[in-house]
A and B are shown apart, each in its own frame.
Chain A
Amino acid sequence: MKVIFRLIVLVTFCALQFSCKTTDTIKIIGTPKTEIYTPEMKKIATINDNGAVDVKFSKRTHYSFLMSRVPGSKDYVPFAIDYLENSQKTMVWGWTLYTVGLSSLVIGGAIVSTPMMAIGGLVTAGSIWPICSAYSGGIQTMYNFKYPTEFKTNQSLKFVDFVDDGYIKKVESKQDKIEENNDVTSENNLKASSALKSVISLKDYGKQIEGEYIGSGKLKQDGMTIETFDGLIISIEKYTKKDVYVNVKTSDGIEFFSSKILYNIGVSENGGFVLSMEDMPSAKIQINESNDLQYNHPNVNIDGDVYTLEISAVKK
């Protein structure tokens, strides 16, 4: 009986020791020197030159995601933490072994001396409740999950800049308004005093180029034409003398973009116009003196892929 009892206690002790592990070691794979952060922005690792790093996850916490940042970048890219369902058998056996150990202490009749109780875990103030129980799996045991052995960051995915199609707010101070009022001249003022400076007001280029332009276009990617369109309509709407809103629609009236885009008007040397976006200088529209329009937008996002849209059109 004593031999069996000691055997049970020994097995219980071993089981409890095994379940005392408080961390998991997970491998994170990514670009070397990528920094890894918790959601609280605490840096926890840097990926080694071999493209991987081991990170210890406490069993008492859970992260839905972590973040990575490549060297030289200001951007933190979240990557999600996958999980696996944890088998209940380990937990049940752990409890069973623990309770067998506990039961044997009780069934034996007499309260076992302190050294024997201490084998089952840390005993404080005479308590027989071990800290290192089957629940030392912490949150993972409570919620029946465990982590896979490795994760990958999402740095290899293609991200693009956000194109803000909102209008740029101008700020005019009271002083600007006073100066503007003083500079405005009229025929009467000119006649009144030859010493007044004449101010030539800007030409209304916005009004000059506004209208609809109809033509054909191509969607290109990596130099290859992916799709062609006929009957495209480019609507140019005056916003100010030197800004216009541009919208592109198919012949069925379907808009290419979620909203119209603001372009600034510049004058080209050959007498035509060059329209450009502040946020994307490479996106240009050229209109010559004959009102032939060449449209080029290198960053059109369709279903997650980026294309270049080129259109040739003439004014309606």
Chain B
Amino acid sequence: MNTIKFFVVCSLMSFLASCSTVKLTTHSVAYQSVKTRHAQPGKSFQIPAKAKIIVAYTISPDGGLTAIVYNRTPEIMIIDQTMSFFVNSDGNSTSYYDPTVKTTTTTDLSSVSKGASVNLGSVANAFGIGGIAGNLASGINVGGSGTSGKALTNTTYIADQPRISLSPNSNCAMSKVFKVIGLGKDALKSNTLQAPYLNEKESYSRFSVCISYSLDGGATYEKIVTDFYADSMVIIPVEEKGKVNDALNKVYTSKPDALYEPWWMLYFVNNVDWGNDFRTQGVLYDYQ
């Protein structure tokens, strides 16, 4: 009888052991990049010192677009969110002020470990002006309700304000993070496009942002419109199980400038979401 119990227990445990796991499978290595219609500041030119407004855009690994506005003037800048819009790649336009749309978004604006980070060092380098890095790094004000003068590691904005005031030489994150159709992990999982170089007409994702601002107390408003488009998507299947770097090498071969696009994302499409299987890099700037 004891022998029978012994074998029953062993068999049961062995059975459970052999049925209990999911095999890791990396299906493909995916890459996409985004640029603006205008040239991005960098090595060849910098944002002119007389620019009065600079907007830095970051895109999260889930395709969330965050806009951070920098007031480069000695005046108070008023941003009118009712006249500021995001136009998605399906043509739908959403105002930054919409009291019917409540968003609970967490934007990690200072951590370097997540794709949504601003990477303020890049912002300072693009400006190319000495002494500005300290000002930029000192605080991000979110909408009209954030704190000032302190760097925020997590920011949740759940209320809208029609107008936001920015003090001289300060900055602010626009109130909403918009999910761009065609960008992010979900888009890369479900697509098989092989396009290392796309122009704007050919792009699968074209979107824009319009921000209205005033420097004369709200008497007149100007607008800065930024047009973006995804200028590549390369998805290489992992042909031999486990040989992921071979697939990544094919991405690099297909697009040798992959690591130097203004914004890009690399995603290792697994059947298990590890949370560290992607890399995003870059900030997109507009200025006026």
Q: How many residue pairs, one in A and one in B, have C-beta atoms under 8 Å apart?
A: 189
Report the contact-size class of chain A (Cβ under 8 Å from the partner).
35 or more
Do residues B5 and A64 form an inter-chain contact, with CB atoms below 8 A?
A: no
User: Which one of B242, B256, B288 contacts A304 once the chains associate, using CB atoms below 8 Å?
Assistant: B256
Interface string of B224-254 (1 = CB under 8 A from A): 0000000100000000011111011100111
The residues in A between 21 and 45 inclusive whose CB is less than 8 angstroms from any CB of B are 38-41
- Measured CB to CB, the residues of B under 8 A from A are 2, 5-6, 9-10, 13-14, 16-18, 20-24, 26, 29, 35-40, 42-45, 48, 50-52, 112-113, 197-200, 202, 231, 241-245, 247-249, 252-262, 266, 268, 270, 272, 274, 276-279, 286-288
Within 8 Å CB of B38, what residues of A? 166-169
User: Which one of A134, A173, A259 contacts B50 once the chains associate, using CB atoms below 8 Å?
Assistant: A173
The residues in A between 135 and 180 inclusive whose CB is less than 8 angstroms from any CB of B are 141-145, 151-152, 154, 157-171, 173
Known contacts A39-B279, A157-B253, A279-B44, A82 near B245 by CB under 8 Å: yes
Chain A: minimal CB distance from B93 (Å): 23
Do residues A99 and B9 form an inter-chain contact, with CB atoms below 8 A?
A: yes
Do residues B254 and A145 form an inter-chain contact, with CB atoms below 8 A?
A: no
User: Which one of A65, A83, A100, A169 contacts B10 once the chains associate, using CB atoms below 8 Å?
Assistant: A100
Question: Is A103's CB within 8 Å of the partner chain B?
Answer: yes
- Nearest residue (CB) in B for A108 is B2
Question: Is A192's CB within 8 Å of the partner chain B?
Answer: no
- Nearest residue (CB) in A for B47 is A171
Within 8 Å CB of B44, what residues of A? 278-279
A142-B21, A169-B39, A259-B200 given; 12 more Cβ-contact pairs under 8 Å: A62-B24, A62-B274, A79-B248, A80-B245, A80-B248, A83-B24, A85-B242, A159-B252, A162-B257, A169-B288, A258-B198, A304-B256
Do residues B287 and A81 form an inter-chain contact, with CB atoms below 8 A?
A: no
Do residues B198 and A92 form an inter-chain contact, with CB atoms below 8 A?
A: no
Do residues A84 and B252 form an inter-chain contact, with CB atoms below 8 A?
A: no
Do residues B256 and A158 form an inter-chain contact, with CB atoms below 8 A?
A: yes
Do residues A145 and B248 form an inter-chain contact, with CB atoms below 8 A?
A: no
Distance A201 CA – B47 CA, assembled complex (angstroms): 26
Do residues B242 and A82 form an inter-chain contact, with CB atoms below 8 A?
A: yes
Within 8 Å CB of A158, what residues of B? 256
Question: Is A91's CB within 8 Å of the partner chain B?
Answer: yes
Within 8 Å CB of A64, what residues of B? 26, 244, 268, 270, 274, 276-278
Do residues A40 and B113 form an inter-chain contact, with CB atoms below 8 A?
A: yes
User: Which one of A82, A100, A157, A304 contacts B243 once the chains associate, using CB atoms below 8 Å?
Assistant: A82
Chain A: minimal CB distance from B211 (Å): 15
26 A–B pairs (Cβ distance < 8 Å), ordered by A: A39-B276, A64-B270, A64-B274, A64-B276, A65-B266, A67-B279, A81-B245, A82-B242, A84-B242, A95-B13, A103-B10, A106-B9, A143-B21, A145-B23, A151-B245, A159-B252, A159-B258, A164-B35, A164-B262, A166-B38, A169-B38, A171-B48, A173-B50, A258-B199, A259-B199, A301-B197
Distance A171 CA – B112 CA, assembled complex (angstroms): 31
Do residues B39 and A171 form an inter-chain contact, with CB atoms below 8 A?
A: no
Do residues A168 and B39 form an inter-chain contact, with CB atoms below 8 A?
A: yes
Do residues B199 and A171 form an inter-chain contact, with CB atoms below 8 A?
A: no
Known contacts A39-B276, A64-B277, A169-B38, A160 near B257 by CB under 8 Å: yes
- Nearest residue (CB) in A for B53 is A171
Question: Is A199's CB within 8 Å of the partner chain B?
Answer: no
Distance A92 CA – B20 CA, assembled complex (angstroms): 11
Distance A170 CA – B268 CA, assembled complex (angstroms): 39
Within 8 Å CB of B13, what residues of A? 95-96, 98-99
- Measured CB to CB, the residues of A under 8 A from B are 38-41, 62-65, 67, 75, 77-85, 88, 91-92, 94-96, 98-100, 102-104, 106-107, 134, 141-145, 151-152, 154, 157-171, 173, 258-259, 262, 278-279, 301, 304, 306
Distance A38 CA – B276 CA, assembled complex (angstroms): 9
Do residues A80 and B17 form an inter-chain contact, with CB atoms below 8 A?
A: no
Closest 6 CB pairs of A and B: A64-B268, A166-B39, A162-B260, A99-B13, A80-B244, A64-B277
- Nearest residue (CB) in A for B215 is A174
Known contacts A64-B270, A64-B274, A154-B249, A171 near B287 by CB under 8 Å: yes
Distance A301 CA – B242 CA, assembled complex (angstroms): 30
Within 8 Å CB of B245, what residues of A? 79-82, 151-152, 154
Chain A: minimal CB distance from B35 (Å): 7
Do residues A65 and B242 form an inter-chain contact, with CB atoms below 8 A?
A: no
- Nearest residue (CB) in B for A153 is B245
Do residues B242 and A145 form an inter-chain contact, with CB atoms below 8 A?
A: yes
Distance A42 CA – B272 CA, assembled complex (angstroms): 23
User: Which one of A81, A164, A278 contacts B40 once the chains associate, using CB atoms below 8 Å?
Assistant: A164
User: Which one of B16, B18, B39, B247 contacts A80 once the chains associate, using CB atoms below 8 Å?
Assistant: B247
Within 8 Å CB of B202, what residues of A? 258
Do residues B45 and A91 form an inter-chain contact, with CB atoms below 8 A?
A: no
User: Which one of B17, B37, B112, B249 contacts A92 once the chains associate, using CB atoms below 8 Å?
Assistant: B17
Within 8 Å CB of B258, what residues of A? 159
- Nearest residue (CB) in B for A161 is B260
Within 8 Å CB of A88, what residues of B? 17-18, 21
Do residues B288 and A171 form an inter-chain contact, with CB atoms below 8 A?
A: yes
